Chain A
Amino acid sequence: GAGVSQTPSNKVTEKGKYVELRCDPISGHTALYWYRQSLGQGPEFLIYFQGTGAADDSGLPNDRFFAVRPEGSVSTLKIQRTERGDSAVYLCASSVGQGNEQFFGPGTRLTVL
């Protein structure tokens, strides 16, 4: 593909609901990152995949957040029992390997009412 794609671009949900955010990385990129970004702030690291495995999930704020990458390509970020504080733009990035330039997707804007 031409770049990293994310769906949906916008998601509005109610407090307590479950949401899934999808990321399609650049073909061949083994490293995949999830970040979230609040207005006026830099990206906040959530989780990093190398291939199919979560190599570093130290940024996940609590056990309501979970992410998978079963085939080493597409990744899904899952948020259970959403809270208003989860509202942010969720960014996905991929790179050839860890330490290389990261290419970002357009993000999913999540709003929890």
Chain B
Amino acid sequence: GQNIDQPTEMTATEGAIVQINCTYQTSGFNGLFWYQQHAGEAPTFLSYNVLDGLEEKGRFSSFLSRSKGYSYLLLKELQMKDSASYLCAVRDRGSNYQLIWGAGTKLIIKP
């Protein structure tokens, strides 16, 4: 079966660091995406991992371990505008390479 798990909600403090985890079980892995979605808006692309390791892009980094079926998104120097939902999506060979999406993690930033 296919399953993407993320925490439902997390809270962090402005200026701090937060790590959002994603675990997945799919019939065939062909890449993992992280998207940011502000309330009432469309998802926007953050990162893509297909090989194990850490991809860094400014304040945001994403890590992948294919053997563990695990990824995390790391957000540094948190800003109030980072309050949003963060969606993990896996491209699944077993689903014609379509994206299988997690339910998203709602991140609340407090001053």
Contact = CB atoms under 8 A, between A and B. Distances in A.
Interface of A: 4, 40-45, 48, 55-56, 58-59, 91, 98-99, 101-107
B99 A45 contact: yes
Contacts, number: 51
Given A56-B98, A99-B91, A101-B48, A42 B31 contact: no
B42 A42 contact: no
B42 A40 contact: no
A107 B42 contact: yes
Interface residues of B, number: 23
Q: Taking each of A43, A45, A48, A55, which has the highest tally of chain B beta carbons within 10 Å of its own beta carbon? A: A43
Contact of B41 (A42, A44, A101, A106): A106
27 contacts: A4-B42, A40-B104, A41-B103, A42-B4, A42-B87, A42-B101, A42-B103, A43-B99, A48-B96, A48-B98, A56-B96, A56-B98, A58-B95, A58-B98, A91-B43, A98-B97, A99-B30, A99-B31, A99-B91, A99-B97, A101-B33, A101-B45, A102-B45, A102-B99, A104-B44, A106-B41, A107-B42
A42 B48 contact: no
A105 B42 contact: yes
Interface of B: 4, 30-31, 33, 41-45, 48, 87, 89, 91, 95-104
